[in-house]
């Protein structure tokens, strides 16, 4: 009889696959149960979690701060949208793969200067990139929809799915659930790969480069290539998230992918916890539910949601949380959970030790 | 001679320089902050915007333009100093990402806060200077009285900053405090106060830029400084974050380059040109074009 | 004379930093089975010599060669693959990785660590990683510091951290070991342990070390190379060097 611990130690990939499968089934079940509105939230959470875990790899593992991942999301989203616009046939997986490929290339191109730049220079350069992308897309003209964006039908809920979940007569509900299901499955696969990478030797190479690049070179890590690789993978995940967003929303607007989105990604990542998978999942959920939480706060405090204050409340709260997290709990919510569980465990251990010593 | 002034090339140069001095000014304030505290202030533009709102909305209450400008600059000075005291001081000695995240968070608060207080719609700020270009023989010289104010304001601020840094004890102390805070402390320099002053000065200089920018065609909005921050950063980075003069020169250069690209190249190039300039400049000299510092590896 | 092909050879290496000559016409070599000490007063060019050897600094003229591998002036990240390991001044550990992970980092170039394998979590990557973990634990046990495996570098004593950095260097089974000030910051007992450790290593590899602590270096090394103002002023056994007039002058400021 092999214990669970041994199984995880000896077959880590299988263990991760199993955990992913269980989580996916649970989330799919949830998507079927909840109402259409919550289905869109689940889809948003999955999409944002993919983008955030990609950013987490870049910042948390490789130590390179990017405020440019909204640009990669835009590239992914518009690649998918342009395909959908100009082709009668729209294969889901094909368009996602193409988006990932294009944004990976963009990531490598933007990552190349990162081999020579550090800290604020790099962050500022990625910011300039994020800033340039929406006007660049607009300037491409009708091909990319200009400033009006692109609208296209992508999601067609298969009949078997609608009848399987008992929503044959309610196409809207079936469509939302189908969208959530796709987002959940794609996110699950993405997180599975990322979990593998976090625990792989390449993943460790990134942490080596982050902590001490000279020592990393001396153990044989090609520092330049590792930095670019981090950008490439991060951009691939952002591109995948962008592609999914386009598919779920059946539309893209260049203005959606401005610097504000990059700042939101960074805020959520810091809030969830840098360099952790769990943190990225929490951050995704917060991203999805932040609007409804803010509207709760609005109604609770009696602030008119269409007033100036009501409209900017989310931005203010986000900024405050970001600063407070960084100054007070730099390891984010995931780190906070970890700290609390460690504290509780040590207290329990203390009590046990006390009770043991008290018994003669 | 006058005919030359109405030529297309001269028009581009005028427009480019008018825009470029503003990039240079924001770049300059980023350099001051960087030199004194080794932090890239992502909220520099937003702080300037906020200070501009504080002062210039008083125009609507009948206050004189110059008085409003003075109040904006004072507000910028106070905001800069307070930011250093409250937000930045806990960040010294912490990893770089902490300061980046905090300043980005502050940027978010300032922009959202400005919408909350003053609304998101653009406000026109009417300066005593005409925005219309000079005419000659039915042709346009792309300079206006306002453009001359723009350039004059930028040059004035730069001269004041240069004077402070070069010719007063304060400048020397600021540089000493940044380079070797411990030594400076031993020599009796009040380092903490100087760092606050550095931020206050930078923020005041930024406020001048923001007031001038907001008095132009685009007016004042909570996000109107974003683009100037990006270009100001590019100017500072191309100039090599350490060099105030480098930032100013790079700003003017970028303004002109951008204007020539807008005028002569297809429109999709214009949006990417500054990023390309930045990338190319940094690839050639990662430490900036005007910085004397050598890059050290081991 | 040693008849075998040297592991490391400096051939007339000169380095200039903006007109300042840090090394001038430096030649020496290190063979397998010997410990060579590189000594000299502060600013003599010892660290520069190490940095040239590791490819962090390019020589202005001359070459650094690894003759037994036929490699000339490798890039720093290629050193591990030609069997060269270097420890850094201080401890040079990775602050946010556990001690075990720090030692595992020494096996970074082993096959099976590619990015795609990592993403897909292929069984071959897993096997290679498990072997690496076991080897790293064994290395820690050999140096008697296995109890610290789960700790972070910041929370362990300095002497232990130094041992860990040697354990990491040994993970790649090097044939040339470069030790940058191995004795600094260690107490008497730790110094003895370190001397024994380094001596035990030389049967498998050549060792080049930079050191200030003469009491530590003199009995340990087979040969010394003495640098002053970037030039080799003497080389030979400890006793030969000890009585060399130029060395005395350089160290004691004695006028001859």
CB within 8 Å of chain A, chain B residues 256-275: 267-268, 270-272, 274-275
Cα nearest neighbour of B297 on chain A? A214
Q: Does C32 touch chain B (CB under 8 A)?
A: no
Residue A351: the pLDDT is: 67
- Collect all residues of chain B within an 8 Å Cβ-Cβ radius of residue A136: 268, 271-272
The reply to whether residue A193 touches residue C119, judged by beta carbons under 8 angstroms, is: yes
Q: Tell if the CB–CB gap between B274 and A132 is shorter than 8 Å.
A: yes
Smallest CA-to-CA distance from C178 within C71, C39, C53, C41 is with: C53
In a domain, B297, yes or no: no
Characterise A171 by phi-psi region: left (phi > 0), alpha (psi -120 to 50), beta (else): alpha
Dist. CA A222–CA B241, nearest whole Å: 28
Would you say residue A281 has pLDDT above 70? yes
Calculate the CA B237 to chain-centre distance: 13
* Residue B161 within any structural domain of the chain: yes
Q: Three-state SS string across A138-169, please? A: HHCHHHHCHHHCEECCCCCCCHHHHHHCCCCC
- For A31-39, the CB contacts below 8 A with 24+ separation are A31/A177, A31/A180, A31/A181, A31/A184, A32/A165, A32/A177, A35/A173, A36/A172, A36/A173, A36/A176, A36/A177, A37/A176, A39/A173, A39/A176, A39/A177, A39/A179, A39/A180
Cα three-residue angle B12-B15-B21, rounded to 5 degrees: 125
Which CATH number does the domain housing residue B107 bear? 1.10.3470
Give the residue from chain A lying closest to B88, CA to CA: A327
More confidently predicted of A146 and C149: C149
Distance CA B158, CA A50 (A): 46
State the ipTM, two decimals: 0.90
What is the CB neighbour count within 10 angstroms for residue A109? 15
For every residue of chain C, which 3-state class applies, written as one string? CCCCCCCEEEEEEEEEECCEEEEEEEEEEECCCCEEEEECCCCCCHHHHHHHHCCCCCCCEEEEEEHHHCEECCCHHHCHHHCEEEECCCCCCCCCCCHHHHHHHHHCCCCCCCHHHHHHCCHHHHHHHHHHHHHHHHHHHHCCCHHHCCCCHHHCCHHHHHHHHHHHHHCCCCCEEEEECCCCCCCHHHHHHHHHHHHHHCCCCEEEEECCCHHHHHHHCCEEEEEECCEEEEEECHHHHHCCHHHHHHHHCCCC
For residue B137, being part of any structural domain is answered with yes
What confidence score (pLDDT) does residue A54 get? 97
User: Mean of the pLDDT values across residues A260-277?
Assistant: 89
- Residues of B (279-298) whose Cβ lies below 8 Å from C: 297-298
Instruction: Flag whether pLDDT at B271 surpasses 50.
Output: yes
pLDDT of residue B74: 97
**Number of domains into which chain B is organized:** 1
Which chains would you list as touching A if contact means 3+ CB atom pairs under 8 Å? B, C
Provide the shortest C-alpha distance from residue A163 to chain B (in Å).
Answer: 45
pLDDT (tens digit per residue) in C185-244: 888 888 998 899 999 988 889 999 998 888 898 889 999 999 988 899 888 888 888 888
Q: Which of residues 191-220 of B touch A (CB under 8 A)?
A: none
Query: Closest Cα of chain B to A314: distance in Å?
Result: 8
User: B168 in a domain, yes or no?
Assistant: yes
Query: What domain range is B124 assigned to?
Result: 2-284
Q: A254 near A132, Cβ under 8 Å?
A: no
Contact: C120, A218; criterion CB under 8 Å: no
Q: What is the pLDDT of residue C256?
A: 41
Interface of B with A in 75-94 (CB under 8 A): 87, 90
A&C contacts, CB < 8 Å: 115
pLDDT for the residue numbered B288: 60
Supply C26's token pair: 């430096």
Cβ neighbours of C50 in B, within 8 Å:
none
As a whole number, the mean pLDDT across chain B is 85
Residues of C in contact with B297 (CB under 8 A): 56
Q: Is the pLDDT assigned to residue B287 strictly greater than 70?
A: no
Q: Is residue B158 part of a domain?
A: yes
Using pLDDT thresholds of 50, 70 and 90, give the confidence band for residue A360: very low
Q: Is B281 on the interface with A (CB under 8 A)?
A: no
Q: How confident is the model at residue C1 (pLDDT cuts 50, 70, 90)?
A: very low
The 3-state DSSP composition of chain B as helix, strand, coil percent (nearest 5) reads: 75, 5, 25
User: For chain A, what percentages of helix, strand and coil (3-state, to nearest 5) are there?
Assistant: 80, 0, 15
pLDDT of B180 reads 76
Arithmetic mean of pLDDT over chain C: 88
Cβ under 8 Å to C: A residues 174-233: 192-197, 199-205, 207-208, 210-212, 214-223, 229, 233
Average pLDDT over residues A344-359: 63
Tens digits of residue pLDDT in C123-180: 888 888 899 999 999 999 988 899 999 999 999 999 899 999 999 999 988 999 999 9
Tell whether the model's pLDDT for residue A357 goes beyond 60.
no
Give domain status of residue B291, yes or no: no
The answer on pLDDT for B296 being more than 50 is no
Using pLDDT thresholds of 50, 70 and 90, give the confidence band for residue A1. low
Q: What is the pairing mode between strands C231-236 and B139-141? A: unpaired
C-alpha A199, offset from chain centre: 18
Lowest mean pLDDT among A279-283, B94-98, C63-67, C251-255: C251-255
| pLDDT value, residue C2 | 45
Q: For residue B297, what pLDDT is reported? A: 38
- Across the strands, what pairs with C64? C10
Residues 305-324, chain A, touching B (beta carbon < 8 A):
308-309, 311-316, 318-323
How do residues C95-119 score in pLDDT, each as one tens digit? Answer: 999 999 999 999 998 887 888 888 8
| A123 interaction partners in chain B (CB closer than 8 Å) | 40, 42, 100
Q: Which residues of A touch B112 (CB under 8 A)?
A: 312-316, 318-319
Q: How far apart are CA A85 and CA C117, in angstroms?
A: 35
Determine the straight-line distance between the first and last CA of chain C, rounded to whole angstroms: 31
- Predicted confidence at residue B71, as pLDDT, reads 96
Structure confidence at residue A228 (pLDDT): 96
Q: Is the pTM of this model over 0.90?
A: no
C3 vs A52, residue with greater confidence: A52
d(CA B4, CA B10): 7
Give the pLDDT band (50/70/90) at residue B206. very high
Pick the residue of C92, C119, C178 with the most A CBs within 10 A to test the interface with A by mutation: C119
């Amino acid at each position: 009889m092999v214990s669970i611990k041994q199984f995880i130690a000896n077959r880590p990939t299988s263990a991760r696959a199993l955990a992913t499968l269980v989580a996916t089934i649970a989330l799919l079940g949830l998507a079927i149960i909840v109402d259409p509105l919550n289905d869109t939230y689940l889809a948003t959470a999955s999409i944002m979690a993919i983008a955030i875990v990609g950013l987490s790899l870049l910042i948390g593992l490789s130590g390179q701060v990017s405020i440019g991942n909204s640009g990669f999301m835009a590239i992914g989203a518009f690649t998918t949208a342009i395909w959908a616009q100009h082709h009668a046939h729209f294969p889901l997986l094909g368009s996602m793969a193409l988006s990932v490929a294009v944004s990976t290339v963009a990531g490598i191109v933007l990552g190349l200067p990162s081999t020579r730049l550090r800290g604020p220079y790099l962050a500022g350069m990625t910011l300039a990139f994020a800033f340039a992308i929406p006007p660049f897309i607009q300037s491409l003209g009708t091909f990319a929809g200009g400033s009006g964006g692109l609208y296209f039908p992508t999601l067609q809920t298969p009949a078997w799915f609608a009848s399987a979940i008992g929503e044959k007569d309610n196409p809207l509900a079936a469509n939302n659930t189908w969208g959530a299901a796709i987002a959940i499955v794609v996110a699950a696969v993405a997180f599975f790969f990322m979990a593998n990478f976090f625990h792989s030797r390449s993943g460790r190479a990134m942490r080596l480069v982050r902590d001490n690049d000279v020592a990393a070179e001396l153990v044989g890590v090609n520092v330049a290539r590792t930095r670019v690789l981090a950008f490439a993978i991060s951009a691939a995940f952002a591109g995948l998230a962008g592609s999914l967003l386009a598919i779920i929303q059946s539309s893209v607007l260049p203005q959606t992918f401005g610097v504000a989105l990059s700042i939101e990604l960074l805020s959520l990542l810091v809030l969830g916890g840098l360099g952790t998978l769990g943190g990225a999942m929490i951050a995704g959920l917060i991203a999805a539910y932040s609007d409804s939480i803010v509207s709760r706060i609005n109604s609770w405090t009696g602030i008119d949601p269409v007033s100036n204050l009501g409209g900017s409340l989310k931005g203010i709260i986000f900024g405050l949380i970001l600063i407070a997290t960084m100054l007070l709990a730099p390891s984010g919510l995931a780190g906070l959970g970890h700290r609390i569980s460690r504290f509780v465990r040590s207290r329990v251990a203390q009590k046990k030790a006390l009770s043991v010593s008290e018994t003669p | 001679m006058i005919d030359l002034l109405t030529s297309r090339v001269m028009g581009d140069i005028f427009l480019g320089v008018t825009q470029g001095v503003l990039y240079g000014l924001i770049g300059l304030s980023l350099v001051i902050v960087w030199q004194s505290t080794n932090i890239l202030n992502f909220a520099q533009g937003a702080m300037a915007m906020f200070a501009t709102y504080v002062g210039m909305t008083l125009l609507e209450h009948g206050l004189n333009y110059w008085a409003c400008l003075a109040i904006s600059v004072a507000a910028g000075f106070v905001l800069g100093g307070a930011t250093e005291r409250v937000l930045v001081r806990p960040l010294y000695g912490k990893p770089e990402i902490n300061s980046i995240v905090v300043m980005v968070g502050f940027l978010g608060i300032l922009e959202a806060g400005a919408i909350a207080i003053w609304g998101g719609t653009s406000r026109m700020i009417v300066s005593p200077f005409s925005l219309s270009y000079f005419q000659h023989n039915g042709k346009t010289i792309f300079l206006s009285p306002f453009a001359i104010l723009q350039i004059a304001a930028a040059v004035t601020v730069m001269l004041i900053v240069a004077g402070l840094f070069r010719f007063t004890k304060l400048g020397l102390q600021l540089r000493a405090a940044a380079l070797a805070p411990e030594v400076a402390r031993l020599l009796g320099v009040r380092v903490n106060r100087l760092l606050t002053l550095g931020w206050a000065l930078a923020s005041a200089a930024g406020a001048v830029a923001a007031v001038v920018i907001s008095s132009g065609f685009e007016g004042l909005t909570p996000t109107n400084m974003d683009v100037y921050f990006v270009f100001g950063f590019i100017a500072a980075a191309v100039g090599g974050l350490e060099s105030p003069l480098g930032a100013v020169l790079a700003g003017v250069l970028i303004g002109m380059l951008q204007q020539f690209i807008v005028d002569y190249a297809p429109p999709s190039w214009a949006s990417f040109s500054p990023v390309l300039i930045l990338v190319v400049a940094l690839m050639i000299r990662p430490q900036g074009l005007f910085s004397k510092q050598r890059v050290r590896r081991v | 004379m040693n008849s075998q092909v040297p592991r490391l050879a400096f051939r007339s290496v000169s380095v200039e930093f903006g007109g300042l000559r840090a090394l001038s016409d430096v030649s020496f070599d290190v063979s397998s089975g010997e410990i060579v000490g590189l000594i000299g007063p502060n600013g003599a060019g010892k660290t520069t010599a190490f940095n040239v050897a590791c490819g962090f600094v390019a020589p202005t003229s001359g070459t650094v060669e690894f003759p037994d591998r036929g490699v000339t002036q490798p890039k720093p990240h290629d050193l591990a693959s030609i069997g060269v390991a270097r420890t850094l001044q201080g401890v040079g550990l990775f602050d946010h990785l556990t001690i075990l992970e720090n030692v595992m980092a020494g096996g970074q170039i082993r096959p099976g660590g590619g990015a795609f394998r990592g993403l897909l979590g292929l069984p071959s990557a897993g096997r290679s990683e498990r072997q690496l973990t076991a080897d790293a634990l064994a290395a820690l046990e050999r140096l008697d510091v296995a109890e610290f495996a789960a700790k972070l570098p910041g929370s362990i004593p300095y002497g232990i951290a130094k041992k860990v950095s040697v354990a990491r260097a040994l993970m790649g089974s090097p044939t040339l070991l470069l030790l940058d000030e191995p004795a600094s910051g260690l107490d008497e007992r730790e110094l003895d342990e370190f001397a024994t450790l380094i001596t035990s290593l030389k049967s498998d590899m050549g060792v080049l070390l930079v050191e200030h602590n003469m009491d530590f270096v003199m009995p340990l090394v087979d040969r010394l190379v003495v640098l002053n103002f970037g030039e080799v002023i003497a080389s030979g056994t400890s006793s030969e060097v000890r009585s060399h007039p130029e060395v005395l002058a350089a160290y004691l400021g004695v006028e001859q």
